[in-house]
């Protein structure tokens, strides 16, 4: 068997084991279900806030259609009904079946509410009353066609030009970037941990002794990293595609070139970050012979990543364009998580991306070399946990 063939064989084995695992499928479905629930919550919350039941009484009854139309322009869904009995209307207000009751004339509107009036509905009613007052004054001033003057005034709009056309949908891009960063953090740490657990399982069950009789240590390690990494990438792509599809179907997200670019960069940084952390976790796992020992070895590595990510996101919220955020996002342990969020927000320049990629690749090569040495020397070792210095020396 060729060297590449041996690596491919190990990778195919690891990929098949992960994809056939019920926990892999269950975990993917659970994450998608959680995102679906969140999308439904956003839709229902948005719908409840934008819907108002309004009753119109007396002379104000003729204003129902106008209020409904003008409220729709502000994103407020008004269901206008005619009120016949004010006593019954007040009971409906107290019961919550009506949000407001409008009475009086168009120039002197009176509104009754149970608590507070929706600010957008207040703006619609106020503007409508102002228009009626203005129309009355125009008529008394002898203007031949007050309605034409009012129509011309209402049609007046300001001309807004964005000097940065690429900034369109920045809120969506930032949201996608944050979600992608969180998914990258979870996926990288989870699947890198799978690499370490696989190494420990093979050591404790003595399967590694059989495998090393036919394979070189680096072939076994590389194949394991590739196979588990592909499984993680497939899961990440499925979750991201499902999330974007759900958000787009619910009207919460408008797919754009910037959003696609964010996803592409997410995939790139997943691969870079996974290889880096898989080498670290595999080396740590090789030092242990039991899962209990593996947790003790992996905890310091995971803690560094968690602290760095929390600090990075905190700084991005407090000072998104600060020097501290820029420096942290360039450090190889944190770049795979923080830099995609900065790219999505448009807060990074090309040379920073290139520098981060170069530093990450250099660090990955160094870690892989050291990890390969540790793995080669520590994997055959059984019994208690092996010291790092002993694994590096090879004796």
Choose among 230, 196, 168: nearest CA to 7: 230
**What is the full DSSP assignment across 339-393?**
HHHHHHHT---HHHHHHHHHHHHHHHHHHHHHHHHHHHHHTT--SSPPPHHHHHH
Burial class (CB in 10 A: 0-12, 13-18, 19+), 395: exposed
State the DSSP H helix or E strand holding residue 80, giving kind and residue range, or none if neither: strand 77-83
Alpha helices by DSSP H, listed for the chain, are 3-20, 22-49, 64-73, 86-95, 119-140, 146-154, 170-204, 207-212, 217-249, 257-287, 291-318, 323-330, 335-345, 350-378, 388-393
Pairing mode of beta strands 109-112, 100-104: antiparallel
Assess whether pLDDT exceeds 80 at residue 41.
no
Q: Where are the domains of the chain?
A: 51-154, 169-393
Tell me what the mean pLDDT of segment 48-64 comes to.
77
Lowest mean pLDDT of 47-51, 149-153, 188-192, name the range: 47-51
Tell me what the mean pLDDT of segment 285-298 comes to.
73
Q: How confident is the model at residue 256 (pLDDT cuts 50, 70, 90)?
A: low
Lowest mean pLDDT of 124-133, 145-154, 227-236, 348-357, name the range: 145-154
3-state secondary structure of 214: coil
3-state secondary structure of 74: coil
Question: Please, which residues have CB within 8 angstroms of residue 344's CB and are 6 or more apart in sequence?
Answer: 173, 174, 176, 177, 178, 180, 258, 262, 265
The residues facing 111 across adjacent strands are 102
The pLDDT of residue 120 is: 77
Most distant pair of Cα atoms in the chain: their distance: 105
The pLDDT of residue 21 is: 84
Instruction: Please give the residue that has the higher pLDDT: either 18 or 49.
Output: 18
Question: Given this structure, which CATH class describes domain 51-154?
Answer: alpha beta
Assess whether pLDDT exceeds 90 at residue 355.
yes
Per the rule left: phi > 0, alpha: psi between -120 and 50, beta: everything else, 394 is: left
Tell me what the mean pLDDT of segment 235-243 comes to.
83
Other beta carbons within 10 angstroms of residue 96's beta carbon come to 10
The pLDDT of residue 147 is: 67
Tell me what the mean pLDDT of segment 206-233 comes to.
80
Tell me what the mean pLDDT of segment 266-286 comes to.
81
Distance of CA 239 to the CA centre of its chain: 11
- Provide Rg for the chain, Cα atoms: 31
Tell me what the mean pLDDT of segment 94-119 comes to.
82
Choose among 225, 239, 249: nearest CA to 182: 239
Query: What's the pTM value of the predicted model, to 2 decimals?
Result: 0.61
The pLDDT of residue 232 is: 86
Instruction: Please give the residue that has the higher pLDDT: either 212 or 325.
Output: 325
């Amino acid at each position: 068997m060729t060297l590449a063939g041996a690596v491919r064989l190990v990778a195919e084995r690891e990929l098949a084991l992960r994809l056939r695992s019920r926990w892999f499928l269950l975990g993917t479905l659970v994450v998608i279900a959680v995102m679906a629930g969140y999308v439904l919550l956003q839709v229902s919350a948005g719908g409840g806030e934008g819907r108002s039941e309004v009753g119109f009484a007396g002379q104000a009854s003729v204003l129902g259609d106008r209020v409904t139309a003008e409220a729709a322009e502000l994103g407020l869904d008004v269901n206008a009904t005619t009120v016949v009995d004010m006593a019954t209307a007040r009971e409906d207000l107290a019961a919550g079946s009506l949000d407001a009751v409008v009475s009086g004339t168009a120039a002197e509107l009176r509104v009754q509410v149970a608590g507070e009036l929706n600010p957008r509905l207040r703006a619609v009613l106020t503007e409508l009353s102002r228009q009626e007052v203005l129309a009355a004054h125009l008529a008394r001033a002898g203007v031949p066609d007050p309605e034409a003057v009012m129509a011309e005034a209402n049609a007046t709009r300001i001309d807004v030009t964005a000097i940065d056309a690429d900034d369109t949908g920045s809120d969506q891009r930032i949201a996608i970037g944050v979600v992608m960063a969180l998914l990258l953090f979870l996926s990288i740490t989870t699947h890198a941990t799978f690499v370490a657990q696989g190494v420990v399982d093979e050591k404790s069950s003595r399967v590694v002794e059989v495998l090393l009789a036919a394979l070189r240590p680096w072939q076994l390690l590389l194949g394991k990293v590739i196979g588990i990494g592909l499984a993680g990438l497939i899961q990440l792509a499925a979750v991201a595609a499902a999330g974007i599809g759900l958000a787009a179907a619910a009207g919460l997200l408008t797919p754009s070139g910037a959003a696609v670019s964010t996803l592409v960069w997410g995939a790139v940084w997943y691969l870079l970050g996974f290889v880096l952390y898989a080498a670290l976790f595999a080396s740590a796992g090789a030092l242990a012979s039991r899962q209990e020992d593996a947790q003790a070895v992996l905890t310091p590595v995971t803690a560094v990543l968690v602290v760095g990510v929390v600090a990075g996101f905190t700084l991005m919220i407090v000072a998104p364009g600060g020097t501290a955020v820029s420096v942290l996002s360039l450090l190889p342990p944190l770049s795979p998580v923080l830099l995609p969020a900065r790219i999505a927000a448009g807060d990074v320049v090309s040379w920073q991306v290139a520098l981060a990629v170069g530093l990450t690749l250099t660090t990955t090569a160094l870690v892989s070399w050291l990890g390969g040495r540790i793995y080669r020397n520590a994997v055959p070792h059984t019994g208690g946990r092996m010291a790092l210095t002993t694994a590096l020396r090879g004796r």
